[in-house]
């Protein structure tokens, strides 16, 4: 079976992915698959910049409002649901447009190398976790010995991923980095065309600040207050960007002005991390919306997609 062609639009928050995705999806009769780790939660709308009623009326959206904020949801859950959507779109002959800022979800779905030999060994895991409590640095040194490639890309304090890498090594006898490369080389069911959007840093940061101000005007404080009342245990979802900062204000730990400034700062930092993540993918075709008009970018992306669809998978 031929690989399924997918248009993938990525970039940092507030860069302009939504506008481009809607225009291109409309142009080709496509449907949008969200790749956002927070938009899966119901009731978390304003703080996640989730597509609203008008946008969903223009184009069908998938993987929004999937679970409640107090339900567990991880990247493996996302991949399973996204694969179902993509199969459905393939059967209907509909163009899939995957867009969002959660690079981990996108890579897991399209490259499929994040879960080699996913079964865990509780005994190995317990031993490594106990070692982490008493001598965490020794774990990183151990990883340097058995899997230097993974050690090079992981921070010494990233104990969760260090333990995972060591667990895979002791279960399989092979470094996780080798298994990842092997899986990445295998034929994927998907053939993605990557489009990346960026802007000059100051313009992007200005847009981030403006978006935060708009969220406050649209009722972000009230949204967070309602969620905190509904979920007093404050599940992991409510520790998300845009929610934890406003929660500080609602708990009286800072003024609203301080909470808003903190949210702007945290969002700018998040955008910077997103750019760093996506820059590692050399297959992305980048467009700078500071230098090129949105109309020109849309025309270029449409042309690239048309050419891409003519190529054999």
99 and 219 belong to one structural domain: yes
Chain segment 23-81, per-residue pLDDT in tens:
999 999 999 999 999 999 999 999 999 999 999 999 999 999 999 999 989 888 999 99
206 and 247 belong to one structural domain: yes
Domain end: 136, 170, 185, which one?
185
199 and 258 belong to one structural domain: yes
Domain end: 185, 217, 234, which one?
185
Chain segment 262-297, per-residue pLDDT in tens:
999 999 999 999 999 999 999 999 999 999 999 999
103 and 247 belong to one structural domain: yes
CATH at residue 202: 3.40.50.300
For 118-142, what is the mean pLDDT? 83
178 and 197 belong to one structural domain: no
Residue 153 reports pLDDT greater than 90: no
91, part of any domain: yes
164 and 28 belong to one structural domain: no
Tell me the three-class secondary structure of the chain, residue by residue: CCCEEEEEEECCCCCCHHHHHHHHHHHHCCEEEECCCCCCECCCCCCCCCCCHHHHHHCCEECCCCECCCCCCCHHHHHHHHHHHHHHHHHHCCCEEEEECCHHHHHHHHCCCCCCCCCCCHHHHHHHHHHHHHCHHHHHHHHHHHCHHHHHHCCCCCHHHHHHHHHHHHHHCCCHHHHHHHHHHCCCCEEEEEEEEECCHHHHHHHHHHHHHHHHHHCHHHHHHHHHHHCCCCCHHHHCCCCHHHHHHHCCCCCHHHHHHHHHHHHHHHHHHHHHHHHCCCCCEEEECCCCCHHHHHHHHHHHHHHHHHCCC
Q: What is the pTM of this model?
A: 0.80
Residues spanned by the domain of 136: 122-185
35 and 155 belong to one structural domain: no
Residue 183 reports pLDDT greater than 70: no
117, part of any domain: no
């Amino acid at each position: 079976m031929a690989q399924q062609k997918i248009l993938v639009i990525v970039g940092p928050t507030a860069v302009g992915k939504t506008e481009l995705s809607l225009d291109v999806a409309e142009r080709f009769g496509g449907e949008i698959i969200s790749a956002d780790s927070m938009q899966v939660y119901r009731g978390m709308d304003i703080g996640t910049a989730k597509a609203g009623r008008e946008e969903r009326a223009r184009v069908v959206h998938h993987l929004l409002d999937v679970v409640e904020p107090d339900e567990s949801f991880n990247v493996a859950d996302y991949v399973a649901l996204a694969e179902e959507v993509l199969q459905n779109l393939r059967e209907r002959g509909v163009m899939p447009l995957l867009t969002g800022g959660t690079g981990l979800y996108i890579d897991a779905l399209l490259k499929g190398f994040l879960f080699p030999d996913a079964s865990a060994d509780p005994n190995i895991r317990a031993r490594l976790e106990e070692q982490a409590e008493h001598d965490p640095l020794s774990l990183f040194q151990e990883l340097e010995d058995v899997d230097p490639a993974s050690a090079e890309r992981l921070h010494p304090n990233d104990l969760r991923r260090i333990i995972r890498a060591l667990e895979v090594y002791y279960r399989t006898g092979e470094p996780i980095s080798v298994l990842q490369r092997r899986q990445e080389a295998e034929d994927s069911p998907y053939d993605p065309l990557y489009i990346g959007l960026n802007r000059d840093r100051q313009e992007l940061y200005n847009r981030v600040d403006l978006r935060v101000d708009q969220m406050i005007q649209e009722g972000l404080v009230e949204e967070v207050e309602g969620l905190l009342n509904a979920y007093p245990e404050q599940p992991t979802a409510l520790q998300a960007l845009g929610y934890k900062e406003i929660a500080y204000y609602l708990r009286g730990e800072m003024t609203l002005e301080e909470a808003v400034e903190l949210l702007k700062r945290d969002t700018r930092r998040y955008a910077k991390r997103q750019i760093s993540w996506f820059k590692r993918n050399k297959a992305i075709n980048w467009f700078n919306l500071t230098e090129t008009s949105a109309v020109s970018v849309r025309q270029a992306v449409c042309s690239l997609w048309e050419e891409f669809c003519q190529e054999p998978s």
